């Protein structure tokens, strides 16, 4: 029986988890919070869910763009270029984004009689994004389990592995990663220069996957 919802962005990580756990997933949830790349990601999330016969919904979170401070919400020109190791990439943090999304997903799960919320945060995110770390996932899982009648659980199987590890799993599943989006700048093509684009290139190369993504540079 399908017992899970998944937070699915349309990026490499969540699409890999979607295919890995497709037999368990009853509902895919995307969140439109006004980021530069939501318009690129969400249609891909919807497409993959439809391909797998999984219901998909998009939840609007427009208040985040209005009230939260992040270069991810300020237009393509605000996105810094360079590797994630650079301190400038910290500007892309959207405060408590995963906490908000997990809380909503938990409420939707309980409303639909489901037991698990899947999220595809991974080890490479830890140094920059506090709401991707082990401590955060464990604390949120405890809160969600204790705050729901059925004891909803957060399932985050990629927390301690790298993006390259995720890509290797996707390779075994036959995922075409050109049908995913990473670039924080949005636009018609992925820029190839921002932190997520660089991380994407490196992960695909390390996993031995030909990168057929169309980049600007």
The answer as to whether 102 is a domain residue is yes
Q: Give the mean model confidence (pLDDT) for residues 32-58.
A: 97
Check: CB of residue 200 under 8 Å from CB of residue 209: no
DSSP state of 10: S
- Does 123 map to a domain? yes
- Check whether 197 is labelled as a binding-site residue: yes
Q: Is 72 annotated as a binding residue?
A: no
In a domain, 212, yes or no: no
> Whole-angstrom Cα distance, residue 75 to residue 36?
6
CA-CA distance, 37 to 195, in Å (whole number)? 14
In a domain, 213, yes or no: no
CA distance 192 to 171: 21
- Count CA within 13 A, CB hemisphere, residue 100: 15
Range of the domain at 127: 4-206
Tell me whether residue 194 is annotated as binding.
yes
Q: Which two tokens stand for residue 165?
A: 């590890």
Domain harbouring 193, CATH code:
3.40.50.620
Q: How does residue 128 score in pLDDT terms, banded at 50, 70 and 90?
A: confident
Query: Is 142 part of any known ligand binding site?
Result: no
119 within domain boundaries: yes
Question: Annotated binding residue at 32?
Answer: no
pLDDT in tens, 95-108: 999 999 999 999 99
- 140-174 per-position pLDDT tens digit: 999 999 999 999 999 999 999 999 999 999 999 99
15 is in an annotated binding site: yes
Give residue 85's pLDDT band: very low, low, confident or very high (50, 70, 90): low
User: Does the pLDDT of residue 86 top 70, yes or no?
Assistant: no
Q: Does pLDDT of 90 surpass 90?
A: no
Domain count, the chain: 1
Whether 216 is covered by a domain: the verdict is no
Mean pLDDT score across all residues of the chain: 95
Q: Is 156 within the bounds of a domain?
A: yes
| 194 in a structural domain | yes
């Amino acid at each position: 029986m399908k017992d899970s919802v998944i937070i699915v962005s349309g990026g490499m990580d969540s699409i890999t988890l979607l295919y890995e756990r497709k037999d368990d997933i009853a509902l895919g949830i995307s969140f439109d919070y006004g980021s530069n790349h939501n318009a690129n990601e969400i249609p891909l999330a919807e497409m993959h869910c439809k391909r797998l016969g999984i219901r998909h919904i998009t939840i609007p979170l427009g208040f985040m763009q209005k009230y939260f401070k992040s270069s991810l919400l300020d237009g393509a020109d605000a996105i810094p270029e360079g590797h994630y190791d650079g301190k400038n990439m910290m500007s892309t943090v959207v405060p408590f984004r995963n906490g908000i999304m997990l809380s909503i997903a938990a409420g939707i799960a309980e409303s639909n009689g489901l037991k698990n919320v899947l999220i595809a945060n991974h080890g490479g995110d830890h140094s920059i994004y506090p709401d991707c770390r082990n401590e955060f996932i464990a604390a949120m899982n405890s809160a969600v389990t204790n705050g729901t009648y059925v004891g909803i659980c957060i399932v985050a199987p990629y927390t301690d592995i790298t993006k390259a590890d995720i890509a290797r799993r996707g390779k075994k599943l036959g995922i075409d990663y050109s049908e995913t989006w990473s670039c924080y700048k949005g636009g018609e093509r992925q820029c190839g220069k921002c932190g997520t684009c660089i991380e994407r290139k490196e992960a695909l190369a390390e996993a031995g996957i030909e990168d057929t993504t169309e980049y600007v540079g």
